[in-house]
Each structure stands twice: as C-alpha cells, then as structure tokens.
C-alpha cells in the first residue's frame, strides 16, 4: 500500500475524485472537503488530504485532516487503514481523532494507538442515512423563508449550540459555525422557519450537489420551540428543495445518543445506509 498526501483540494480530487464518486453518498464528506469553496474548515496549519493506492496504483481509500478536527476517512481495507495510520503518524503526530466507516475507523484507531502509545476512546456512534424521496406535510405551522445576511449572527449562534458535542474548543466551534452559516446564506442555501406569528424558530441549510448527492447541514431549532415539530419541518423542507433541484439523494448523519432525532429523520424519509463512529486520541 502507498499513501500520498497534499494540501491542495484540487490535487486530491484529481487523484481520488473518480474513486470517491463511485460511492457519492458514502463519500460525500470527502467530496465536500475537496470541492466546496467552504469545504476546508478554519484550523491550524495546512489541511492534509490523503489517498491510499494498492500495488496496481488503484485508489482504495482516502481521508482529510485539519487540526484540531477529527479526521474523516472513507471505508477501506484493514491493510489500507493501517498503512494510512503508519504514514500519517509522521505527518500529523498530534492528530486529535478519526471518524468514518466504523470498521475502518476502528482499525485506524487501533494502529494509531500502537504507534503513538495514546489511548483511542470510542465516541459518538452514528448512522449515515440517505433519502431519495420525501413529501411536505399539509398541516405545517408557519413556513420557511430564505435567510438573509441579517440572520447571520442568530443562525451562527444556533449552529454553535448544535456543535457543542463535537470535541472542538469553543473558539474553533465559533469559527466553523460562522463559516458554515455565512457560506450557506451567501449561496442561497439556507432557510429560517417562522411560526404562525412570524417569529424565527429555527434554521437549516444544505450543501452543494456533488455527484448527485446533497447534505443538509446545520438543522437547529431554538430551545424555546423544541415541542413544535420544527426539526422535522426544517429537515423535510431542505431535503425536498435539494431533491427538487437535481439531487438524486440527500444524506445526513444521525448520532445514536440523540434517540429523539431518529424519529425526525425517519419521518422525513431517511433510512440507514452505513455505520460510522468516531475515536478521540488521548
């Protein structure tokens, strides 16, 4: 196995993009990092895009790292995951953690622990979920409007609250939340839901279309309005808009610790596609 790295999203996509697009739903996060103008989050040092090739030169795995985030990686063979760890330990010895396909993340984390002497703590088990059709409810309370720059401060604060369990320091959460919210607003890819009285109760956005797949991002309902079913309305609305505007599918990540959210995503029409997990290195 051979591992190659670059700080260039364009170089990474040229090397691994065709392989990633064979499974665009499972690999959506890596495609976002490579192709979205806002796909490289603010962080420390240069980003590190990695791809693994076998003896014939074919791509068999990929990953993206930017300190201090946990590194997303694709599904890959055990040998490829171990080779990736063995290479990256020389490039990113202070890597905070890894996230992705459960089996590959487990092998990578185990090898990383062997190489560094650190402990790999399993955290935040997830389901990657996919939706190919949905319907809007007839009895929705209130309705959506497009977000404007005047909404940025409020929505960024909401998104910060939604990232509280990410393991990132508060200043990094604030930077990432504002980047995400600002990019969505500038791109016309974010809505605010207002109740029947015109009060903003939540917001949601969606990403760009990569190989037919769009990811809703930043779905958040104000704590004062959690009982109104607005999470379902927000996720359903952005999913419907994505599918109506050319997406073959939408994907989202469901964190298993938030049991109440499973009913929300299933009601919209999402179903389990793959098991993901995260490991924190300490």
Specify the DSSP element, H or E, that contains 153: helix 152-162
Question: pTM for this one?
Answer: 0.89
The per-residue pLDDT for range 184-208, each reduced to its tens digit, is 898 899 999 999 899 999 999 999 9
Nearest to 59 by CA among 93, 95, 30: 30
The per-residue pLDDT for range 16-44, each reduced to its tens digit, is 999 999 999 999 999 999 998 877 777 78
For range 129-157, the mean pLDDT? 89
The per-residue pLDDT for range 248-281, each reduced to its tens digit, is 999 999 888 777 788 889 999 999 999 999 999 9
Could you give the strand order of the β-sheet that contains 97-101, starting from the edge strand earlier in sequence?
A: 2-6, 44-53, 59-67, 71-73, 97-101, 271-281, 120-131, 249-255, 213-214
| Confidence class for position 166, pLDDT limits 50, 70, 90 | low
The tokens of 178 are what?
């504002």
Distance CA 104, CA 81 (A): 6
Question: What is the CB neighbour count within 10 angstroms for residue 142?
Answer: 18
pLDDT top residue among 228 and 121: 121
pLDDT top residue among 255 and 95: 95
């Amino acid at each position: 196995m051979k591992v190659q790295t670059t700080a260039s999203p364009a170089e990474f996509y040229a090397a691994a993009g065709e392989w990633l697009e064979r499974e665009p739903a499972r690999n959506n996060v890596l495609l976002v990092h490579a192709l979205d103008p806002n796909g490289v989050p603010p962080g420390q040092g240069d980003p590190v895009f990695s791809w693994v090739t076998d003896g014939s030169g074919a791509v068999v795995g990929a990953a993206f790292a930017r300190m201090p985030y946990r590194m997303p990686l694709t599904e890959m063979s055990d040998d490829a995951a171990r080779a990736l760890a063995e290479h990256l330990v020389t490039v990113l010895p202070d890597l905070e953690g890894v996230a992705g396909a459960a089996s590959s993340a487990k092998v990578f984390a185990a090898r990383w622990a062997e190489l560094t002497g650190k402990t790999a703590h399993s955290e935040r088990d997830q389901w990657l979920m996919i939706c190919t059709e949905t319907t809007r409810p007839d009895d929705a309370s209130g309705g959506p409007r497009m977000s404007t720059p005047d909404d940025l401060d409020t929505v960024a604060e909401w998104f910060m609250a939604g990232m509280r369990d990410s393991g990132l320091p508060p200043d990094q959460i604030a930077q990432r939340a504002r980047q995400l919210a600002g990019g969505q607003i500038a791109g016309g890819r974010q809505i605010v839901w207002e109740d029947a009285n015109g009060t903003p109760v939540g917001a949601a956005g969606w990403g760009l279309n990569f190989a037919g797949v769009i990811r809703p991002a930043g779905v958040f309902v104000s704590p004062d309005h959690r009982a109104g079913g607005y999470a379902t309305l927000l996720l359903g609305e952005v999913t419907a808009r994505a599918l109506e505007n050319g997406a073959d599918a939408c994907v989202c990540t469901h964190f298993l610790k938030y049991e109440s959210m499973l009913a929300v995503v299933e009601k919209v029409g999402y179903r389990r596609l793959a098991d993901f997990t995260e490991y924190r290195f300490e």
